[in-house]
Amino acid sequence: MAQAKIFIDGEAGTTGLGIRERLLAVPEIELRSLTGERRKDPKARQALMAEVDLVVLCLPDDAAKESTALADALGARGPKVLDASTAHRVHPDWTYGFAEMEPGQAERIARARRVANPGCYPTGAIGLIRPLVDAGIIPADYPVTINAVSGYSGGGRSMIEAHEGAGGPAFELYGLGLEHKHVPETERYAALTRRPIFVPSVGHFRQGMLVSVPLHLDTLAGRPTGADLRAVLAERYRGCDLVQVRDAEAGGKLEPEALNGTDRMELRVYANEARRQAVLVAKLDNLGKGASGAAVQNIGLMLGLGAARREEKVAVHA
């Protein structure tokens, strides 16, 4: 069986390196690369695109759009494209790459020629909210609030340098202008009609993520219990390898780094029935299921390879 050929455009960045590390362990895949200044040469990049089956874009949004145009210009000779940027996540011609989002989504990704890899924060938020909207428990126009904390590796080069070089702050809120770039995809794919409030934060740890959604149970349809919410989530993700519903720990504590180095996401429901309040929490590695791990899962689906169902520890994320 011939190997599938893949070109990672922007492989030197954090997400690109993570994808490359994972794909090196997949025997069905041959990675193709450019060296030196040829990495920035549009003609060289387009020529390589014509030789591969799939291109992964690990680039800033504008550069990702330019690379997509290069691939589109090849017509029938062009490769499939998986975009890890924000550029195409709500574009109607692109398939959203969260395979567990709803029944049939993995099959849509497998058929697609253009797939947008999800953001790390939206992966957790959509994973928690969408099943409850689909079940009619959270109304589509519900005023949802999403709080999240991530390791600093998700903030790009400047944030990584600030934390690893000068030490960086222990903790900080950001995006307080309420215009974070992940909000549009969260609203759309969580099936919400009211724009959610999203408050992200970063801690002084390299990777790991918690995404939480607080709820007043008596404001939800049917006045559910915490067990009702958990049952809906458990049914949606029954049989999923990479998204799993776990019991809430009795101590009421959760730390963000436990899934580092994996491509899994865990969902929990913490509820106080006496107060009729609950908090939904997703835990994941922002560089795993929140980025590179999701990309490799989508690559496997798009190319029909077993890589889609592998769950591996990756040295670069240790």
**Is residue 112 predicted with pLDDT exceeding 50?**
yes
Burial call 243-274: b when 16+ CB within 10 Å, e when fewer: bebeebeeeeebebbebbbbbbbbbbbbbeee
CA 241 vs CA 237, 249, 289: distances in Å: 9, 21, 12
pLDDT at 306: 66
Q: Which of the residues are catalytic?
A: 120
pLDDT band at 252 (very low <50, low <70, confident <90, very high): confident
pLDDT tens profile 20-44: 999 998 999 999 999 888 988 999 9
**Is residue 266 predicted with pLDDT exceeding 60?**
yes
pLDDT at 13: 86
- What's the half-sphere exposure (Cβ side, CA atoms, 13 Å) at 239? 4
**Is residue 1 predicted with pLDDT exceeding 70?**
no
Contacts of 269 (CB under 8 A, 6+ apart): 226, 227, 229, 230, 233, 248, 278, 279, 280, 281
The pTM for the full model equals 0.92
Q: Kindly write down the DSSP assignment for every residue of 124-191, as one continuous string.
A: HHHHHHHHHHHTTSS-TT---EEEEEEEGGGGHHHHHHHHHTS---SEEE--TTS--TTHHHHHHHTT
Nearest alpha carbon to residue 46 among 68, 64, 13 = 68
Q: Supply the mean pLDDT for the chain.
A: 92
- What's the half-sphere exposure (Cβ side, CA atoms, 13 Å) at 87? 20
Cα 58–61–64 angle (5° rounding)? 55
CA distance 85 to 57: 7
Look at residue 123 and give its three-state secondary structure: helix
As a residue count, the chain comes to 318
**Is residue 233 predicted with pLDDT exceeding 50?**
yes
Q: Are strands 209-216 and 145-151 parallel, antiparallel or unpaired?
A: antiparallel
pLDDT tens profile 306-317: 644 444 333 332
pLDDT at 316: 31
The domains of the chain, with CATH numbers, are 4-117+290-317 (3.40.50.720), 120-286 (3.30.360.10)
Cα 81–299–124 angle (5° rounding)? 100
